[in-house]
Amino acid sequence: MKKQYEAILFDFDGVLLDTEPLHFACWREVLGPLGVDLDWPTYDTRIRGLSAEALLQALQHLADPPLGIEAVRAVYPVKIEMFRRRVLAMDDLMSADVKQLIGDLGGYRLAVVSSGRKRHVFPLLERAGVLERFGAVICQEDVTEIKPAPEPYLRAAGQLAVTSALVVEDSEAGRQSGHAAGFDVLMVAECAAMPGLVREWLGV
């Protein structure tokens, strides 16, 4: 028997939008001059899903000996602006399958829970034409502790006024956050597979 949920809480990058390859390409470009030859497996296992100081510290240790923290901090805003320009230039921000899924989940309250900043998340949801479908959009500025702490998912559930929810995630930090908040977590390896996996889990 399928579990019943009041809400579906989606991570953003890599779940609703296939932006992780672009994040990877931007990090690879800005870290190259620092002597770091970033590869996808390293990004996927050690960098993806992190934010703020944890991200900077992880980037430091991609080099041997480790990079100075100030050198890493200096390229961070460069990467953010590079990503912002490139992602806003993309024609197909969100796949038709993801948009169809969002439209078909009319019986659930929906939220986006991201470790990204509002200036990144809101414009992309608006451009994709789905912003109004989400009753809550939780970003880095909305919490005192980001994933893997439970606060982001607890805050989303609080704003939606629900106690039962399914979390849809692609990172280990997100998985830990959702479970710590007391919710079931559906892990997806890639954005393209997400709609099918959610439909199978929910039976819709």
- Residue ranges of the alpha helices (H) in the chain? 20-31, 40-42, 52-60, 69-88, 96-104, 118-128, 151-160, 172-180, 194-202
Share of the chain above pLDDT 90, in %: 67
Q: Would you place residue 1 in the very low, low, confident or very high pLDDT band (cuts 50, 70, 90)?
A: very low
Tell me, yes or no, whether 64 and 103 share the same domain: no
Three-state SS for 137? Answer: strand
Q: Of 48, 72, 88, which residue constitutes the final position of a domain?
A: 88
Q: Rounded mean pLDDT of 58-65?
A: 90
Residue with tokens 């990144």: 120
Q: Rounded mean pLDDT of 32-40?
A: 93
* 1 domain-assigned: no
In terms of residue numbers, what domain contains 68? 20-88
Tell me, yes or no, whether 131 and 53 share the same domain: no
The total domain count for the chain is: 2
Q: Would you place residue 51 in the very low, low, confident or very high pLDDT band (cuts 50, 70, 90)?
A: low
Q: Of 69, 88, 107, which residue constitutes the final position of a domain?
A: 88
CATH number at residue 163: 3.40.50.1000
Q: Of 65, 88, 111, which residue constitutes the final position of a domain?
A: 88
Q: Rounded mean pLDDT of 105-134?
A: 92
Residues 105, 120: Cα–Cα separation, whole Å = 24
Tell me, yes or no, whether 189 and 111 share the same domain: yes
Tell me, yes or no, whether 38 and 97 share the same domain: no
CA distances from 90 to 18, 86, 93, 106, 121 (A): 11, 7, 6, 28, 15
